[in-house]
Structure 1
């Protein structure tokens, strides 16, 4: 897709160690203010953030890696779990940032990793925003998915469309060609399996070790959390009573893609506020 190709060409590629291979980072507009670091979701890549990169990169530095075992990054050594992926990502982020401090945002599995990165890097992280976070000590909703790898042509596209509606995008009318292209590319490149960590408490434990401003956000129709978003907010506030919480109306799990303007407005308010609640 043209927008993906254009963003990829516009980025500076940085490589940091990941096991026997590399972790790949893409940087846009380097040196333009406090960096915004975006961690993608499970079975994903930097492409999960395409609409927010396009929105933020013209006016500030944006950094989006492929997490270990996903996208263009190598598989990490064992154990294959969020804390270990986060240690690799934190070491890489130190190298990418140098002496700078960053705003850190993580989506889904990337929210889990972001919590651990924030706990490890401490004051190097100005603020932390979690999108569609799990691993807070409660079960996720059952989400049916179709196998894709054994399909081709229209059957493969139909499976992608089913999976996007089942897990990622609440309104099927918003599943466009770009979403399908991102889903296809991410599926082809994904090797690290992250779904097994969603019911754990790893993120909650990591958040207890953080103190930077924190915002937790869900789409109102998040397929993984629907019907239980208040309990998830309560779980976050159990360890971080000061956390902001936001719910984006009529959006599913992939909130920043399905409702990019509403999501971007929440992010902008949070970043401007320094972590203090600000009315819309």
Structure 2
């Protein structure tokens, strides 16, 4: 069963003071599935509608660090897990890719609901790898959520042909050499503008990639999400940065294809000037788009 809430000590100690203050009152809960522990972070009153945020690959809940307070203040109970194999969560035995995660998300959510820690069904927003996880989760367990927002999600079968290759860093002995690679990788994949690569983005990234225990993921380069979306009964919307490295030159194709993939389509949003990590690089514009995507469907 989930643990009792812990203190705000779950926050990284390098967060700027104002940001740390905005995240005060964080709860930490643990759920269990297949003998593996999954850590969830929560903000906002339990009685509020619940929004589950799923982070990207080589990440943790901190991929959403700029989004949590605005969403809580907009009236959501915000739940942000560290996905299995990332952050503070265990890597379950035999878990090698995103298709192994739905059972853990389903079990974890229902344990939290059973303990009175959130109401359901919930809404889900998944960033990158987390978007894939959300789609697979809700295809297998459609009763768990009423809507899904895909944020920069791969798995659509529309890879960009000219992506800048990422570089390895674990073999490097020098911290400065490792940092140079991290900066390269952030600008190659995550961020569009060099000025968006600030000290916080770098620190968050370094802390996250060091705790990635699922290194041989391959399904993001397939069309797994495109194939599974027709089975998702939740309303599906999408938010992508204008310069998302995963879809450079192909975003218009994706905009045309996604409504045909989803059985129940919501809305499409492009955030101007932003790259893949859109909720960090263009936080205010992203939050407006997300709240619009999450708004109730107009009655007919």
Question: Normalising to structure 2: TM-score of the pair?
Answer: 0.85
Change (3 A) 1:205 1:97: farther
- Once the two structures are TM-superposed, the CA of residue 163 in structure 1 deviates from its matched residue by 0.9
Question: Which of the residues 17, 40, 46 maps onto 2:61?
Answer: 46
Which of 264, 272, 277 lines up with 2:287 in the alignment? 264
- Which of these residues, 179, 197, 215, is aligned with residue 193 of structure 1? 215
CA displacement at 1:119 relative to structure 2:
1.8
SS in structure 1 of the partner of residue 147 of structure 2: strand
Aligned to 1:152: 174
Which ranges in structure 1 are unaligned for 5 or more consecutive residues? none
In the aligned structure 2, how far is the partner of 1:235 from the partner of 1:79? 30
The corresponding residue for 1:166 is: 188
- After superposition, residues 168-247 of structure 1 pair within 5 angstroms as 168-193=190-215, 195-240=217-262, 242-247=265-270
Give 3-state SS (helix, strand or coil) of 1:25's partner. strand
Q: Secondary structure at the match of 1:41?
A: coil
Change (3 A) 1:6 1:156: farther
Distance 2:38 2:23 in 1: 16
**Can you list the C-alpha shifts for 1:188-217, whole angstroms capped at 9, x where unaligned?**
111113651122122122211112221112
Local SS of the residue matching 2:87: coil
Match of 1:83 among 81, 99, 102: 99
Q: Larger deviation: 36-45 or 50-59?
A: 50-59
Contact 1:127 1:275 in 2 (8 A): no
**Residues 275 and 70 (structure 1 numbering): CA distance in 2 closer, same or farther, change over 3 Å?**
farther
- Aligned partners of 1:97, 1:120: CA distance in 2, in Å? 18
1:116, CA displacement in angstroms? 1.3
In the aligned structure 2, how far is the partner of 1:204 from the partner of 1:32?
34
Post-superposition shift, 1:180? 0.6
- Unpaired runs of 5+ residues, structure 2, are 1-13
Question: Shift of the alpha carbon at 1:155?
Answer: 2.3
Query: Could you report, residue by residue, the CA deviation over 1:232-264 in whole angstroms, capped at 9, with x for unpaired residues?
Result: 233322222634211111100000000001100
CA distance in 1: counterparts of 2:256 and 2:37, whole angstroms: 37
Is 1:127–1:213's contact at 8 Å kept on the other side of the alignment? yes
For the 8 Å contact 2:52–2:125, the answer to whether it is kept is yes
**C-alpha contact (below 8 Å) 1:168/1:223 kept by paired residues:** yes
- Give the conservation status (yes or no) of the 8 Å contact 2:101–2:137: no
Equivalent pair of 1:23/1:73 in contact (CA under 8 Å) = yes
Q: Choose 258-267 or 236-245, whichever is displaced more.
A: 236-245
Say if 2:262 is the partner of 1:249: no
Pairing 1:24–2:47 present: no
Choose from 43, 64, 79 the match for 1:63. 79
Distance change in 2, residues 1:8/1:153 (3 Å): farther
Instruction: Report if aligned partners of 1:244, 1:275 keep a CA contact under 8 Å in 2.
Output: no
Aligned to 1:107: 127
Flag the 1:268–1:203 CA change in 2: closer, same or farther, 3 A. same
